[in-house]
Structure 1
Amino acid sequence: MIPPPQLPHVQRELIARATAAGPRWQSLARMQLSEQEIGMGRHTDHANARVLRRIIGEYGWPGVPLVGQDGATAAWQIALHADTDTFMQRAAARAMHAATQRGTASIRQWAHLHDRCLLNADLPQHFGTQYLRGADGLELEPVHDPDTLDTRRAEVGLPPALDALHDLRLRLAATPRTSDQKNDGTSTTSPTESA
């Protein structure tokens, strides 16, 4: 039997924030939002990032023992979408990485967040999880040492890059997932997609 989360009130807050933002994140990934909606969403993402910053400051990374699997995934999603606060996003990635070392956070999810932080610092990504919508569809954002990409992906439990791109294209073409469907540990974001 899985023990209940140690911080159920934090779990509820994280899940509520990620659930409220989820439909907008999905619409953003499908480029279905106006500029006004994108701007309003940035304010929400910034507010969510402030809350996550406070939580990390008080408790460390909200990993599975603290907030359950759904709460930990919600925290990761909030961090991944914190592009308006890259300082907090990098701090979240560091805290999450430490939690992966303790076995309380997903290394696969951390790889997505790590890549996002690298791109936001104008550096090439390491695990090839981030894509940009280009003229010919999804294009892989710059990657450090592309010849060994699939080896690095395998080290953190990610599928080969071509398989991930195929799956991402299918997800973006499908009907958006509702908030009650199971999260598969991946995310889509725009202008950069994640696979």
Structure 2
Amino acid sequence: MPEQPERPDLGLDLLRCKWRVDEATSPGTPAARLAGVHRENMEILAAIITAGRSWPGHRLVGERAAHTAALIAVEAPDLAFQDRVLPLLNESVRAGDADGKDLALLTDRNFVRHRRPQMFGTQYLPGQDGLTLYPCIAPGDLDWRRQALGLEPHAEYDARIRGGHTLLASPGPEPHSEVESGAS
């Protein structure tokens, strides 16, 4: 049984952010509403990070809430915010206080938003013939990098993505990635 987080109140705040995204993605909800929710969630995560001067990891907020924090960062509309929090999540993963899958997802989304090749193969672009993997750095080393963070081989991930798993699309020209169950 997992330990009780140090700050379950902050964990609940983060989980409420996910619930707000779920509500904003229901059919018939205007896209502007989702964009506003992403901005509000980013502000909540920023306040939590500023108060604690670190990433809200498993010990502080619990595993589910820490994963939600990563999803908030992935969908953050402010690229500079992603730039600031990515090293914090990296430190937390290295300390064993966050999931490597979350780091892979945020790293790739950040690299793609900077128009750089991704590292872990979590980001796809929609096309007329379905999804296309966004270019990767050193594709021959992709599975090695994925394994280092606890991700499944890319061929298995790719099969799941193309097999119809739910994808969350960011507004605008952002790539697609699997986020509901966590990138693996």
Displacement of 1:22 in angstroms is: 3.0
Q: Which ranges in structure 2 are unaligned for 5 or more consecutive residues?
A: 178-182
Question: Which structure 2 residues correspond to residues 101-140 of structure 1 after superposition, within 5 A?
Answer: 101-140=94-133
Question: Which structure 2 residues correspond to residues 32-181 of structure 1 after superposition, within 5 A?
Answer: 37-59=30-52, 60-82=54-76, 84-172=77-165
Q: Which residue of 2 aligns with 1:18?
A: 18
Q: Distance in 1 between matches of 2:128 and 2:153?
A: 23
Q: Which residue of 2 aligns with 1:183?
A: none
Residue deviations 1:23-51 (CA, integer Å, cap 9, x gap): 555x7xxxx778xx223211110111111
Secondary structure of 2:97's partner? coil
Displacement of 1:188 in angstroms is: 3.6
What TM-score, normalized to structure 2? 0.86
Query: In 2 relative to 1, CA 148–86 (structure 1 residues): closer, same or farther, beyond 3 Å?
Result: same
Residue deviations 1:133-158 (CA, integer Å, cap 9, x gap): 11111110111111221221122121
CA-atom RMSD in angstroms? 2.0
Displacement of 1:171 in angstroms is: 4.5
Q: Distance in 2 between matches of 1:168 and 1:47?
A: 29
The percentage of counterpart residues that share the same residue type is: 31
Residue deviations 1:97-153 (CA, integer Å, cap 9, x gap): 010111100111111101111111111101111111111111101111112212211
User: CA contact under 8 A between 2:20 and 2:37: conserved in structure 1?
Assistant: no
The size of the alignment, in residue pairs, is: 174
Runs of 4+ deviating beyond 6 Å = none
What TM-score, normalized to structure 1? 0.81
Q: Distance in 2 between matches of 1:72 and 1:128?
A: 22
User: CA contact under 8 A between 2:117 and 2:137: conserved in structure 1?
Assistant: yes
Q: Relative contact order, CA 8 A, sep 6+: which one is greater?
A: 1
Secondary structure of 2:125's partner? strand
Secondary structure of 1:139's partner? strand
User: CA contact under 8 A between 2:120 and 2:136: conserved in structure 1?
Assistant: yes
Query: In 2 relative to 1, CA 160–23 (structure 1 residues): closer, same or farther, beyond 3 Å?
Result: farther
User: CA contact under 8 A between 1:81 and 1:189: conserved in structure 2?
Assistant: no
Structure 2 counterpart of 1:189, one-letter code: A
